[in-house]
Amino acid sequence: MQKLARRWKRAGIKIGFVPTMGYLHDGHLSLVREARRRVGRQGRVVVSVYVNPTQFGPKEDLAKYPRDLKRDLQLCRAAGVDAVFTPSDAGMYPGRAEGRYSTYVVEEHLARVMEGAARPVHFRGVTTIVAKLFNLVLPEVAVFGQKDFQQATIIQRMVADLNFPVKIVVAPTHREPDGLAMSSRNKFLDAEQRAQAVILFHALQAAKAAVAKKAVPAARLKKDLQEFFTAAPLARLDYVEFFDPETLHAASPVKRGTHMALAVFFGKTRLIDNARL
Ligand code: AMP
């Protein structure tokens, strides 16, 4: 991958990059279109498909994470992707099983809250794999989804702090017609859970409406949202947070422009969503 990228660079060709864990959906493909817009017809768009083991905790769904490389490759081909990078675990983390892999990239502040608090090793795995992928793909531009808002914020911080020569673009969350954010994990929802999963989107909209005209104390809005979730009995709220979109510091009162993020379990399936209120 690096050899190919260096060849392109020597020829003055721009590289746009979309890192993914595969099982691609329209949300991923909207990032591919954005990457193409950024590098133009003369550029190259690279998608990586890699279920990165270091970003999963020991009790998480690494083994069960959905995979369908054949379909992913077809979708990438149809979307005009120039190269799909599909590394192996042994290639990315040589000697890890024997304890001979020992270098990680850690962001120390933004990664402590929300997803980082709920999933302790998650962001260390994300920053490490994204740094490695940047060194292999050598992109001018990399596109991430707002769907994983905290992740995008941490990647932007990593790129600034460590001087990666890459522009990070954050593209809007792609949604199903009813508002549910597209996610590879949605396939784990049964029909009843799927019908109730739209509550994440509705909760964001309800919070937006609640703060549209006046600021509301965070504790009160949280309580109201917990109440709101009783309408979806299959949902178990993991967290809902209100915060400053740049620092991720908790915000109260909550007002227009405050960011909201939430994580919700349906059975073992954990969904996340977020929006600027
Ligand atoms: P994943 O394969 O879930 O790791 O996601 C790969 C990239 O696609 C990340 O930058 C995600 O934020 C982004 N992504 C996932 N779902 C969506 C969506 N519904 N809309 C936009 N981007 C998304």
pLDDT digits (tens, 9 = 90+) for 44-81: 999 999 999 999 999 898 999 999 999 999 999 999 99
Rounded percentage of the chain residues whose pLDDT exceeds 90: 98
List the Cα angle 33/37/41 in 5-degree steps.
105
Average pLDDT of the segment spanning 235-264: 97
Residues in contact with ligand 1 (CB, 6 Å cut-off):
20-21, 27-28, 30-31, 144-145, 147-148, 171, 173-174, 181-184
Q: What is the pLDDT of residues 8-17, one digit of tens each?
A: 999 999 999 9
Sign of CA dihedral 97, 98, 100, 106: positive
Length of the chain measured in residues: 277
The pLDDT value given to residue 134 = 98
Catalytic site residues?
A: 28
Q: What is the pLDDT of residues 218-229, one digit of tens each?
A: 999 999 999 999
Distance CA 123, CA 105 (A): 9
pTM of this structure:
0.97
Taking the centre of ligand 1 as the mean of its atom positions, its distance from the CA of residue 99, in whole angstroms, is 31
Ligand 1: nearest atom to the Cα of 181:
19
pLDDT band at 177 (very low <50, low <70, confident <90, very high): very high
- Output DSSP code: residue 171: E
Distance CA 46, CA 256 (A): 37
Average pLDDT of the segment spanning 186-214: 97
